[in-house]
């Protein structure tokens, strides 16, 4: 009799867990169907002037005595009141960030940010792009550059700040700026094209493994990983690289006509100080210095388009965190038991 009671209790707990899981799945399905057709992201806007002001005020509180601080605050309030009375309108600076990987994945967010700011930006405003990228795929960075070109075409001044690196595809983006600012030891240039791939044909042949490549079109495949590469294929591949390089050079020369393009389009990179001599940049200045100075005379707005994670992703993250906590708790208890034993 006791056995059946224990079995019934076990069965009831099992059924409860199954029902709970089914209910969770139903809720997830309902939320998914409800969220279809809605936006997958949202634009986040933060006023950077408030950040700078908060930092300054915190420092003043620590450094100034109460009397001096009181005088300072009164002067600031008087100045703000007068500016409001005069109706003085400060120019706006829209700040964007681009942290590029090999696929220029940040382009998806960048296009939304540019679309948003172009809906209200004028020639009296400015866009500042803090750019970090060592380059990557030609077509990916070509699209990212085309997004920045929209700003130039709209007649809105574009300033590109490079604190660490803007090379290859990264410099393709940077050159679109009306003004390029670089930290003294940032890396710039690499105006060149590279492609590399391994070939294991001889290894397959050694082990008597056949690999066939069937194509329609003489140059559908020039170089392959598994097939036997030919001199004709190599020549065509090199020709394609040279064509891409010429297009790259022409693109940079269009936006930076002051460059001696053949001199800098060798694939070399230069640090900021040398890049200034080569006219790859216009001034040596960090983004912090530039934005700090602009904050004194303009309103700075940082734009960031954030992709909303799908319900499955959020659920997966929450589950992973919960599982990590359970495992950590279990491990701690087990360790304590071992220690006290």
Identify the CATH number of the domain in which residue 294 sits. Answer: 3.90.226.10
Mean pLDDT in residue range 186-205: 92
pLDDT of residue 249: 96
Same-domain status, 99 and 214: no
| Pair 225, 302 in one domain | no
- Over residues 260-279, mean pLDDT: 96
Same domain, 163 and 248: no
| Domain final residue, candidates 236, 258, 280 | 258
Share of the chain above pLDDT 70, in %: 77
Report pLDDT for 338.
Answer: 46
- Mean pLDDT computed over every residue of the chain: 85
Q: Is the pLDDT of residue 340 over 50?
A: no
Comparing 338 with 30, which gets the higher pLDDT?
30
Tell me the mean pLDDT in the region 141-154.
97
Whether the per-residue pLDDT at 55 is higher than 50: the answer is yes
Let me know whether 54 and 201 are in one domain.
Answer: no
Supply the range of the domain harboring residue 108: 41-62+89-190+268-307
Cβ neighbours of residue 100 closer than 8 Å, sequence gap 6 or more: 106, 131, 132, 133, 134, 135, 136, 141, 144, 169, 170, 173
Tell me, yes or no, whether 338 lies in a domain: no
Active site residue 168: yes
For residue 25, pLDDT over 90 is answered with no
Q: Is 184 found in the same domain as 124?
A: yes
* pLDDT tens track for 310-319: 655 565 666 6
The verdict on residue 277 lying in a domain is yes
Token representation of residue 264: 């800098």
Q: Contact, 189 vs 268, CB < 8 A?
A: yes
Closest CA to 199 of 218, 176, 227: 227
**Does residue 238 belong to any structural domain of this protein?**
yes
Asked if 103 and 242 sit in the same domain, the reply is no
DSSP category for residue 309: P
**Length of the chain measured in residues:** 341
For 142-149, what is the mean pLDDT?
Answer: 97
Catalytic residue among 66, 85, 89, 220: 220
Contacts of 145 (CB under 8 A, 6+ apart): 169, 172, 173, 176, 251
Q: Is residue 140 part of a domain?
A: yes
Q: Average pLDDT for residues 102-129, to the nearest whole number? A: 96
**Is residue 329 domain-resident?**
no
236 and 297 together in one domain:
no
Say yes or no: 52 and 199 in one domain: no
Which stretch of 58-72, 288-302, 316-330 has the lowest confidence by average pLDDT?
316-330
- Residue 99: beta bridge partners? 132
Residue 90: predicted pLDDT: 85
- Tell me what pLDDT residue 235 has: 93
- Both 125 and 240 in a single domain? no
Residue 140 a catalytic site member: no
Domain boundary among 258, 289, 315: 258
- Contact yes or no for 131/174 (Cβ under 8 A): yes
Q: Are residues 132 and 234 in the same domain?
A: no
Q: pLDDT band for 19, please (50, 70, 90 cuts).
A: low
Within 10 A of 152 (CB to CB), how many other CB atoms are there? 15
Q: How many domains does the chain have?
A: 2
List C-alpha distances in Å: 268 to 1, 195, 241, 257, 261.
85, 16, 16, 19, 12
C-alpha 125/C-alpha 75 separation (Å) is 28
As a whole number, mean pLDDT of residues 122-138 equals 96
**255 to each of 145, 271, 290, 317, how far by Cα in Å?**
11, 21, 22, 44
- 71, 167, 190, 212 from 78: Cα distances, Å: 11, 47, 52, 81
- Is the whole-model pTM more than 0.85? no
Whether the predicted pLDDT of 242 surpasses 80: yes
Asked if 111 and 217 sit in the same domain, the reply is no
Indicate whether 225 belongs to any domain.
yes
Enter the tokens of residue 44.
């986040």
Predicted confidence (pLDDT) at residue 120 exceeds the cutoff of 90: yes
- 31 falls within a domain: no
Set 133, 145, 168, 287: catalytic member:
168
| Cα separation values, 272 from 17, 181, 189, 290, Å | 62, 9, 10, 16
Determine, yes or no, domain membership for 45.
yes
What local confidence, expressed as pLDDT, does residue 341 receive? Answer: 40
Check whether residue 124 and residue 241 sit in a common domain: no
């Amino acid at each position: 009799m006791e056995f059946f009671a224990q079995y019934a209790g076990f069965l009831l707990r099992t059924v409860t867990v199954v029902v709970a899981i089914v209910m969770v799945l139903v809720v997830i399905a309902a939320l998914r169907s409800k969220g279809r057709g809605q936006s997958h992201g949202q634009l986040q806007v933060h006023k950077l002037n408030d950040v700078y002001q908060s930092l300054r005020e915190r420092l003043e509180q620590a450094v100034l005595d109460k009397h001096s601080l009181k005088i300072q605050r009164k002067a600031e309030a008087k100045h703000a009141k007068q500016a409001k009375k005069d109706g003085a309108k400060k120019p706006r600076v829209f700040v964007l960030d681009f942290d590029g990987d090999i696929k220029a994945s940040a382009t998806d967010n960048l296009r939304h940010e540019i679309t948003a700011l172009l809906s209200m930006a004028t020639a009296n405003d400015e866009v500042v792009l803090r750019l970090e990228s060592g380059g990557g795929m030609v077509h990916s960075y070509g699209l990212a550059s085309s997004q920045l070109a929209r700003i130039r075409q709209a007649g809105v001044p574009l300033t590109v700040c490079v604190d660490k690196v803007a090379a290859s595809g990264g410099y393709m983006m940077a050159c679109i700026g009306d003004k390029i600012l670089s930290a003294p030891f940032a890396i710039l240039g690499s105006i060149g094209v590279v492609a590399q791939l391994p070939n294991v044909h001889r290894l397959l042949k050694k082990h008597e493994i056949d690999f066939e490549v069937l194509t329609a079109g003489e140059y559908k495949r020039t170089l392959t990983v598994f097939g036997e590469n030919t001199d004709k294929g190599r020549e065509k591949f090199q020709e394609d690289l040279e064509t891409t390089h010429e297009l790259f050079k022409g693109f940079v020369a269009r936006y930076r006509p002051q460059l001696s393009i053949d001199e800098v389009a060798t694939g070399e990179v230069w640090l900021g100080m040398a890049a200034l001599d080569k006219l790859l940049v216009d001034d040596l200045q960090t983004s912090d210095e530039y934005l700090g100075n602009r904050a004194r005379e303009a309103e700075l707005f940082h734009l960031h388009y954030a992709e909303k994670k799908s319900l499955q992703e959020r659920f997966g993250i929450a589950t992973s965190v919960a599982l990590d906590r359970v495992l950590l708790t279990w491990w701690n208890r087990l360790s304590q038991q071992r220690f006290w034993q």
